[in-house]
Chains A and B, each alone.
Chain A
Amino acid sequence: MTPLLELRDISIQFGGLKAVSNLSLTIEREQIVGLIGPNGAGKTTVFNLITGIYRPTAGGVFFNSENINKKRSYERTWLGIARTFQNIRLFKQLTVAENIIFAMHYNRDIGIFSSMLRLPHFWRERNEVNKKANEYLEYINMLDMRNERAENLPYGRQRELEIVRAIATGAELLLLDEPAAGMNPQETKQLMRFIDKVRNDMHKSVLLIEHDMGLVMGISDKVAVLDYGQKIVEGKPSEVQHNKKVIETYLGKGDDDAES
């Protein structure tokens, strides 16, 4: 079977700075891949390249073996790529349910006229959508908050809602940008189980940026380490953990420390 997502030698340059250079990475179906690296290593830039906020200056992004370099961001969502953001970007003044329904939007026709005239078709569809949204909310035990404004949820729940919103687009591939940021160890553990459950229940693939090593190493099938925009290591969590290069990246070289 072909991989779900394949980055082939992608690079992007901002002015003189190469933010990502010659990065190759594949994500198989139902695989959880961790993307780690120090701050400023270019991890979020990789997400932006996959979702079309940036276009690579070289190389190609392939989804289901199709080159999607020229696709706009919303078209990539249609194809099956959805993401969350480092600094939560929910629709703050919309309700929890509306946030979910919004994401279920794209695979339906606009239907301005049928909704303006409130044809039977409109009501039928509205019921369906509500039912489906409730299912999603039930999945994260948020049904009782469905009419709450998203901005009024506690921080951890907002993170969860954002993940489910990404799922609700129907995407096969979820890009999660530091989902555990700002969580305590307890919450992080819960989140870890949740991500694993999503993969198993819904057959999703996940690309995960995370600083919490416990989380990444605990659930990833594969981990890639980025530094200065380049992939320095890729492999199973256990391999990466003990890799000398990775330790150097995070802790610095012993010699350098002694000299300075």
Chain B
Amino acid sequence: MDAIFNSYTLQIITMCCINIIIVQGLNLISGITGQLSLGHAAFMSIGAYTVTLLMLDLNVPFWLALPLAGLIAGLAGFMLGVPILRLRGDYLAISTLGFGEIVRVLFLNSTTTHGALGISSIPHYTTPLISVILAIVGFIVMFNLTNCRFGLALRGIREDEIAAEMMGVNIAKYKMLAFAIGTGFAGIGGALYACQITFISPGDFAFTRSFEQLSMLVLGGTGSLLGVAAGVIILTVIPEVLRFATEYRMVMYGLALLIIMVFRPQGLFGNIRVNL
């Protein structure tokens, strides 16, 4: 047992759970509601910085700071959503990407966040157990959320916005809600991430991380909750398995992404098309 559950594997499991929470959020926005976001890492960073600053500067206990991190990230998502969610497809995607970069530059230039130096010695609260439990809770919440009329409304919006509105759904409101909840998940995940790695800097939340999260989603299968878990686990484990390949690691990661996508375009568990 000890051989399997050594600290290294436990750390990977924790990272998987954190990523599952974050990508579930992205799935709600992009997979279920069909609004492509390329700035999910920004909300993760908002959660990470919120929890860190609350705990270190204001002495807020972790269990209060964690939900607050989700709340503030969700609020940021809501506020961004108001102007940009009426954009469509690629325009929405590039705006979210732009927002992500703006947030990163703000953290980079703020003195409270110590700029590029980042913040270290964040208390290590995220135990493997906590992350597993929260991932399961997140999964259940997401399952219930997508399997009720609210989820149905979101899926209808993905399929056809105009028809959805003509069937009596206030699409702006629903998109905004989906965006707020999805980014809230990212905030919680980011907070857990900060308390796992114990060091954060703006560089950790660049657009490449948003891309990585989207890759996890599409690889697993857009719109599928199980797919999210599968995609996250595969793309979290692949780089670890490839550690032997040292400098070839990222090349092989990229090639693996490409090959899986070409040979299984619908993702591992997906059967939903998201039309941009």
- Do A and B originate from a single complex? yes
Cβ of B255 within 8 Å of any chain A Cβ, yes or no, is no
CB within 8 Å of B: which A76-114 residues: 77-78, 82-83, 85, 89-94, 98, 101-103, 105-108, 110-112
Cβ of A44 within 8 Å of any chain B Cβ, yes or no, is no
A115 CA / B181 CA spacing, docked (Å): 15
Which A residues are CB-close (under 8 A) to B149?
101, 105, 108, 110-111, 115, 129
Which of A83, A101, A105 is B169 in contact with, Cβ under 8 Å?
A105
A92 CA / B163 CA spacing, docked (Å): 11
Nearest CB of chain B from residue A174's CB, rounded to whole Å:
12
Which of B148, B155, B169 is A106 in contact with, Cβ under 8 Å?
B169
Which B residues are CB-close (under 8 A) to A107?
168
CB within 8 Å of B: which A55-91 residues: 72-74, 77-78, 82-83, 85, 89-91
Cβ of B9 within 8 Å of any chain A Cβ, yes or no, is no
Given contacts A89-B162, A94-B156, contact A116 B145 (CB under 8 A): yes
Which of B145, B165, B168, B272 is A112 in contact with, Cβ under 8 Å?
B145
Which of B159, B160, B166, B272 is A77 in contact with, Cβ under 8 Å?
B166
- Interface size (B, Cβ < 8 Å)? 25
Which B residues are CB-close (under 8 A) to A115?
144-145, 148-150
A78 CA / B155 CA spacing, docked (Å): 20
A135 CA / B211 CA spacing, docked (Å): 45
Cβ of B114 within 8 Å of any chain A Cβ, yes or no, is no
Q: Are A85 and B163 in contact (CB under 8 A)?
A: yes
Q: Are B168 and A103 in contact (CB under 8 A)?
A: yes
Which of A78, A89, A93 is B163 in contact with, Cβ under 8 Å?
A89
Look across to chain A and name the residue whose beta carbon is closest to the beta carbon of B170: A74
Look across to chain A and name the residue whose beta carbon is closest to the beta carbon of B174: A110
Cβ of B191 within 8 Å of any chain A Cβ, yes or no, is no
A103 CA / B166 CA spacing, docked (Å): 9
Tier of interface size on chain A:
35 or more
Look across to chain A and name the residue whose beta carbon is closest to the beta carbon of B157: A91
Which of B160, B171, B177 is A91 in contact with, Cβ under 8 Å?
B160
Which of A73, A101, A110, A117 is B150 in contact with, Cβ under 8 Å?
A110
Q: Are B167 and A116 in contact (CB under 8 A)?
A: no
A216 CA / B164 CA spacing, docked (Å): 28
Given contacts A91-B163, A98-B152, contact A74 B169 (CB under 8 A): yes
Which B residues are CB-close (under 8 A) to A98?
152, 155
A103 CA / B163 CA spacing, docked (Å): 10
A108 CA / B170 CA spacing, docked (Å): 13
Which A residues are CB-close (under 8 A) to B164?
91, 102
Nearest CB of chain A from residue B77's CB, rounded to whole Å:
16
Cβ of A51 within 8 Å of any chain B Cβ, yes or no, is yes
Given contacts A91-B156, A91-B160, A108-B149, contact A118 B144 (CB under 8 A): yes
